[in-house]
Amino acid sequence: MSLDDLHLNLRNLTPDDYPQLKLLMDKVYHDIGGCWPKPTIDKLIKEFPDGQVIIEDDETIVGVALTALVDYDTFSNPHTYDDLIGKSETILNEENGDAMYGLDVLIHPDYRGYRLGRRLYEARKELCRSMNLRAILAGGRIPQYHEYSAELTPAEYIDKVSRKEIHDPILSFQLANDFLVKRLLRKYLPEDEKSQGFATLLEWNNILFEPAERVLETRRTQVRVGAVQWQMRELPSVEAVLEQIEYFVDALSSYQSDFAVFPELFNAPLMGLQDRAAQLDQLAAIRFLSGFTARFKTELSRMAVAYNINIIAGSMIEEDDDGKLYNIAYLCHRDGSIERQAKLHITPQERRDWVIEGGDELLVFQTDAGRVGIQICYDVEFPELSRLLADQDMDILFVPFWTDTKNGYLRVRHCAQARAIENECYVVLCGSVGNVPSIKNLDIQYAQSSVFSPSDFAFPHDAVLAETTPNTEMIMFSDLDLTRLTVVRSEGSVTNLKDRRKDLFDLRWRDWSWKSGGLPSGAKQDEN
C-alpha cells in the first residue's frame, strides 16, 4: 500500500462502528479471546465517549484505542486485568477517576509501519492533559517473552528491552512513547501464554496535572513582562526622575504587564545634582547617590501597589550601617512587600572607583506571576549562580544591566542567552542608553534589551522572544508561557536540567543563607 492511497481520519468510536471493530479485534486478538461483546463497548462509549478513539481509512477502521477512567491510587499498585472487569464483561469505568487506563491499542496488520499507534497515543495524552488527569496507566503485555523465558526472568527481559537488546512489539513501542515501567505485574492476564501471564505496569505522567483542591491556587501560566530601555539624561531634580519612572510604570501597567523592569543603576544621573567639583570625587559621588535609595524604594513600592504591577527596580546603591556600599536590585511586589538581591560579583571599575562590596545571598523570589531570580549585569556571566537558581525551580531570570560599549553588552547578552538554554528558563535583559558627558562614568551607554527563551520547538527559532532597537529609549513587551517551560524540562528535544551527571559532579555553596531556610534542592553546603 502506498502513502498516496491513504485517506486517514481520527475520530471517536460510535456504537455503529461495532461490526468493523469486531472484525479488527478478532483478527488482532485471536489468541486472547478476540473482541469485547457489543454491550461492553456500548457501555464504555456511553460512559467515556472521548476516551474511545479510532483511525479510519476511507471509512474502514484500521486502528483503535480503548480507554477507561480509573482511580490512580488503586491502579498504580499491583492489580490484574480482572480488576478492571465487572459482571458480564463490563469494563469498570470510574466516572470520577483521576487517571486514564489504556485498555487496548491495536492496528490492522496491513497498516503497521505508518506510526498510527503513535497517533492514538498522542490523542490519549492530549485528552489526559485537557481533562487535568494525573496520568495514563496501562498493563502492557510482553508477547515475545516466551522466546526468552528459559534464560531470562521477566525483570531481566524488561531490562534488555529497555536497553534495545531485545525488541518487544508492545513494550518497545510503549517505551518509545514516553511510558515508564512502574512495576512488574504477575498473573495479569493468565490466558496470555506468550507473556506467560506477566505484564508491565506502565505510566505516562501528566506533568501539567493540578489537583482539584489547588485549582484556585494554581500559579499563573501566562505572564506579561514589560521592560524599559531607559535613557540616562541630566535631570533637574529627584522629582523629575520619579516622574519619568512613573510615566513608564503607568504605560506598562496600561498594557496589563505583570512586571515592569528597569536597568542597573538607572537613577545614576542624580549624581549630577552635585556641583562639578564634587562629582570628581567618585567615591563621594556614589555615596551621594546612595542617599536617594530609601526614597526611591518607598516611591517605587507605592507605584507597584497603585498600578498593580511588580517592579524590578533595576538596581540602586545602598549604604549599610558600617558605611559599606552595595549594588542592590529591589523587587517591589504589587502587594506592597519589598525584597532585595545584591550584586555578588563586582566589576573592576565598581571596585576601583566606587569601592562597592559584593553581597552574599542568592535568592529565588515567589511572586504572583512565577518564581523569579535577579542577577545584576556581571553576575549573569557566572553560570553557577543561575544553575543554583534553576535548582529552586526559577521560571524567569531578570538581568538589569549597564554597559558602556558594544563588546561589554555582548558579553552580557551571550551569557544571558546561554543561561536561558542551560537552565530552561526565560531571561529578561534590560539596559540603559544615552550619553551624559557631564557626569563621570555616565558618558556613554550601549544596550539592546531582550527576552530569551530555551532553544526548542515550542519557542522562536533563534530563542529570542523580543528585543528593542539598540541605543533607543523605548519599552518592550513579551508574553511568557510558563507551561512551555514545564513541558520542555520534561519532554524537550534535550533536557539539560534532568540530564546532568550528578554522579560525576555537584555544585556547592559555602554558608548558604536562604530566606526560606535550608539548602536549595541540588545544592550542597561545604562543611569547611
pLDDT in tens, 88-145: 788 989 999 999 999 989 999 988 888 899 899 999 999 999 999 999 999 999 999 9
Residue 129 C-beta-side C-alpha neighbours within 13 Å = 12
Residue 98 gets which letter from DSSP?
S
Question: Cα separation of 125 and 86, whole Å?
Answer: 26
Confidence of residue 3 (pLDDT cuts 50, 70, 90): low
Q: Is the pLDDT of residue 199 over 90?
A: yes
Decide if 229 contacts 449 (C-beta within 8 A).
yes
pLDDT for the residue numbered 374: 98
Q: What's domain 222-491's architecture?
A: 4-Layer Sandwich (3.60)
Question: Residue 412: what pLDDT?
Answer: 97
Q: Which residues of 4-39 are buried (b: 16+ CB within 10 A; e: fewer)?
A: eeeeeeeeebeeebbebbbebbeebeeeeeebbeee
Whether 343 is a known active-site residue: answer yes
Residue 501 CA from chain centroid, whole number: 20
Domain ranges of the chain: 8-205, 222-491
Please, which pLDDT band fits residue 1 given cuts at 50, 70 and 90? Answer: low
pLDDT at 521: 39
pLDDT tens for 263-274 read 999 998 888 887
**Over the chain, what is the mean pLDDT?**
89
Q: Tell me whether strands 135-141 and 199-205 are parallel, antiparallel or unpaired.
A: antiparallel
What is the grid cell recorded at 357? 562590596
Catalytic one of 35, 43, 203, 264 = 264
pLDDT digits (tens, 9 = 90+) for 476-522: 999 999 999 989 998 889 999 889 998 898 888 876 554 444 444 34
**pLDDT higher than threshold 50 for residue 9:** yes
| pTM (predicted TM-score) | 0.79
Q: From the CB of residue 100, how many other CB atoms can be counted at a distance below 10 Å?
A: 28
Other C-beta atoms lying within 10 Å of the C-beta of residue 369: 22
Phi-psi region of 98 (alpha: psi -120 to 50; beta: other; left: phi over 0): alpha
| Residue from 343, 415, 425, 430 carrying the catalytic annotation | 343
Query: Annotated catalytic residue: which of 35, 128, 332, 377?
Result: 377
149 pLDDT higher than 80:
yes
Once rounded to an integer, what is the mean pLDDT over residues 209-225? 72
How many Å apart are CA 229 and CA 226, to the nearest integer? 10
> Topology of 8-205 in CATH?
Aminopeptidase (3.40.630)
